[in-house]
A = this chain, B = another copy of it.
Amino acid sequence: MAQTSAAPLTRRQKIEQKEHALLWAARQMFVEHGYDGVRMAALAKRVGMSEGSIYSYFSTKSDLMQAIVIDFWREIADGARASVSSDDPPFQQLCDLAEYHLATVIKHFDFLDLTVTLRRGADDNIVSREQLRAYTSVFDDIFRKAVDCGEISPDVVMWLVRDTFFGTLEYSARSILGRRTQSTSDMTLVIDNLLEQIQKSYGLNTNGAVSASSLEERITTRLESVADRLEGAMTQLARDSNLES
C-alpha cells in the first residue's frame, strides 16, 4: 500500500515476480503431464524464460518440484486454518474442516496424486512428511480444544480419530471422483455421516457407551499420553543427533 502504482521495484521484486510465474506454470504443467512428463525446455518456453534461467532459481528439476509442493501445502494449510472460525464450538470447527478438506482434496486431486507419486522418488524424497504434519495439526488443535471443552471424552485416542477423519475423507474423495458426476450432496452426505459417527462414538453429551469407561481406562489413557510425549522427545533427540554428523 505504501507503494504507488507505477513504481517499479526493479531487482528483487521483479525477480520474485518471475519466480512466482515460474512456480505457477511449473505447477500446472506438473499436474497436467506428471513429473517425468514435463521437460525443462517446455517449461522454459511456457514461462518465457530460457532453460538456463530456470536453473538460477532452482538448481534442479527436483528442487523446483519440492518448492512447488511446499508452497502448495502451506497454501492449503493456511486455507484449512482459515476455514474454521475459532469462535465456533469445536465440533462445528471439525465440520468446517471436513468440508474444507473434502473440497480441497477433490479440487487438487491430481496434484495430491502427484505428490504421493513423488514420495517414492527413491534417491531424493521430494515430498517430506513434515509438510503433511503441518497440515494435520489443524485437526489436532481443534480436537484438543474439543477435549478441553468437554465435547469429546478425554480418553479418546486422538490418532485413531484423526486417521478416521482424514482417511474417510480422502477415500471418499477418490470414490466421489470415480463417479461420473460429482454432486455436492454426496459431499454433504459424507461429511454429515463422518461427523455423526465421531459424535456418536466419541462425543460426551450423548449417553454413549464410551462414557462408561472406567477409572482404569482413564489411567491407561494418561499413560498413553505420557508415552506420546516421551516418544516425541526421544525421536526428536534421535533426529538431532543424526543431523550433527
Contacts and interface: CB of A to CB of B under 8 A. Distances in A.
A119 B110 CA distance: 11
From DSSP, what is the main secondary structure of chain A's interface residues? helix
B245 A242 contact: no
Contacts of A164: 164, 168, 171-172, 193-194, 197
Given A116-B117, A227-B229, A230-B233, A167 B160 contact: no
A163 B105 CA distance: 15
Nearest to A244: B245
A99 to B, nearest CB: 16
Interface stretch (A10-18, A68-76, A208-216): A208-216
Nearest to A235: B233
A180 interface: yes
Contacts of A234: 233-234, 236-237
Interface residues of A, number: 73
Copies of this chain present in the complex amount to 4
A220 B223 contact: yes
Contact of A167 (B167, B233, B244): B167
A170 interface: yes
Contacts of A172: 160, 163-164, 167
A229 B234 CA distance: 11
Given A166-B171, A224-B226, A120 B34 contact: yes
Contacts of A117: 116-117, 120
Contacts of A166: 171
A51 interface: no
